[in-house]
Amino acid sequence: MPEALIMILPKLVTLGFVMAFGASIGSLVNVLVYRLPLGLDVVSPTSRCPKCNTKLTWRENIPIFGWLILGGKCRFCKCKISPEYPIVETVVAVIFGLIYALWYMVEPGDTLLGIPFGDIAPEWALNGPALTWPSLVILFILMGSLVAMTIIDARTFTIPLVLTWVPAIVALLFHTGHAIWFQVSKGTLTPVISGYWNFAGSYSRWFTAPNEIWTIPTPGLNGWRFIGIILGATVGLIIANLLLKYKVLTRSFADYDQWLKQHNKSLADSLEKSEKEPDHSAAHEWIMYPYARREMIRELAFLAPVGLLAFFGGWLSVTLVTNIAGDWTFNPTTGTMIPPTQAPLWLVVMTGVLAGYLIGGGVVWAVRILGSLLFNKEAMGLGDVHMMAAVGACMGWIDSTLAFFIAAFVALGIAALGALGKGKLSRAMPYGPSLAIATVMVLFAKPIIEWGLGKIMGMDTPFNLP
């Protein structure tokens, strides 16, 4: 066996395992897509044929190949099985495989057909899968959740919030837990050069993006004020939800169902007098709701504790550090104040996750509120807010913000394609698929985005994003 093949064989085997895992996650996505909109339990009962209700065996449940072996038909009643099942499984398997191959198998600087595939992976992937697997798992869970959200939103104009909560919670636990393990096993990180760190008392090295310390953007070891702002905003969000739960605050659009009944009654009366068939889709009815401005005031009231406690948290963190550890010093080289002590790595990383969640969702929420106030129609759904909050928690606030603005162009492309097929533009379209596609574009095409930003800013080199 050639020596080159012997060297790459373990990586190929691992790649095959990752893609098989991705296909299995794709199979789970199919279950979520079918059951969540119907309000069904995703665990029980076990998979059955929707036509004859026969319990499926393990042979029918093999991802991708099970459908091919059966010829796209149920083995028991011969009812056709939608090709969507193997397509979704294949898409998720390919996404997982691409992430692993580009992150850990392609060498930096490698090109194929002139495309710099070696530049796609983030800098932290240089540390290898053994040291960075928690971040890899977070990406896998996010990608699987985004595929599920895309399909459900395209069909129902809704995003089940559980699909946004799971990746966000996993990101918080895995990123923070990973940082705790680093501190316990490796010691304190000390900078060598930008993006290159030593472990105290160890010969190990840790690579990150320039001016960063982790696999996602963080406030840094000296970022006490930012840490306080984010922790304060997080406490404010918890308090706002408690106020909502105990009905101190009113949930926005709480009277929508009542309005819809009256709207449908009026619509039925008008149909008796007109032969024209109106747009009676759920999405059309939602944007017809006439009190969006009023509801945005309620959402601003919900966000008030977040803003107030963010401000208070920034002041409190600086005050506590000063009182406990001493005075801050001014660095004339950088023009910044240096704290008397550094924040622990786990706190820095946890704050990075929370910042991604708050900023990722906050940017979308700001556009939702401003758009709704301007046009008196709900500009974006809260499901979109939760989706980008999850993206921010997993990938960081910079990537989630980039994805949000790129999604506008993706949506225009989707709308144009839809208009070509139907001959007219739809008055309402789900935005979740555009956000998900834009997120994948940021994940795999960041070098192109950095090159474009560099050109816009008149730079000779790409704009290096964390």
- Per-residue pLDDT in tens (0 to 9) along the chain, 466 residues: 566 666 677 888 999 999 999 999 999 999 999 999 988 888 877 777 777 777 777 677 788 888 888 888 887 787 888 899 999 999 999 999 999 999 999 988 887 777 778 889 999 999 999 999 999 999 999 999 999 999 999 999 899 999 999 999 999 999 999 999 988 888 888 888 888 888 876 667 899 988 899 999 999 999 999 999 999 999 999 999 999 999 999 999 888 888 888 877 776 666 555 555 555 555 566 677 888 899 999 999 999 999 999 999 999 999 999 999 999 998 888 788 899 999 999 999 999 999 999 999 999 999 999 999 998 888 888 999 999 999 999 999 999 999 999 999 999 998 888 777 665 656 668 899 999 999 999 999 988 888 888 888 888 777 777 6
Q: Supply the pLDDT for residue 87.
A: 95
Measure the CA–CA gap between 202 and 187, rounded to whole angstroms: 8
Q: How many helical (H) and strand (E) elements, i.e. helices and strands, does the chain have? A: 14, 5
H-helix or E-strand containing 347? helix 345-375
Q: What b/e readout covers 324-350, taking b as 16+ CB neighbours within 10 angstroms?
A: eeeebeeeeeeeeeebeebbebbbbbb
pLDDT at 201: 64
> Cα–Cα distance between 119 and 220 in angstroms, integer?
25
Q: What angle do CA 74, 77, 79 make, to 5 degrees?
A: 55
The answer to whether 400 touches 155, Cβ cutoff 8 Å, is no
Q: Report the pLDDT value the prediction gives residue 108, as an integer from 0 to 100.
A: 83
For residue 97, what pLDDT is reported?
A: 97
Of 139, 53, 59, nearest in space to 92 by CA: 139
Render 18-86 in DSSP notation, one character per residue.
HHHHHHHHHHHHHHHHHHGGGT--SSSSPPB-TTT-PBP-TTTTSTTHHHHHHTTB-TTT--B--THHH
pTM: 0.92
CB 349 within 8 A of CB 179: yes
CA distance 150 to 452: 27
CA neighbor of 365 nearest in space, from 450, 451, 306: 306
Kindly give the interhelix angle for 432-444 and 397-422, rounded to the nearest 10 degrees: 120
| C-alpha span between 408 and 397 (Å, rounded) | 18
Backbone angles phi, psi at 426, to 5 degrees: -75, 140
What pLDDT is recorded for position 231?
Answer: 98
List for the chain the helix, strand, coil content (%; round to 5): 65, 5, 30
* pLDDT value, residue 190: 85
Q: Is the peptide bond prior to 462 cis by the omega test (within 30 degrees of 0)?
A: no
Q: Are 131 and 137 in contact (CB under 8 A)?
A: no
CB atoms within 10 A of CB 50: 11
112 SS3 class? strand
How far apart, in whole angstroms, are the C-alpha atoms of residue 408 and residue 128?
Answer: 34
pLDDT at position 422 is 66
Domain boundaries, the chain: 1-105, 111-188+347-466
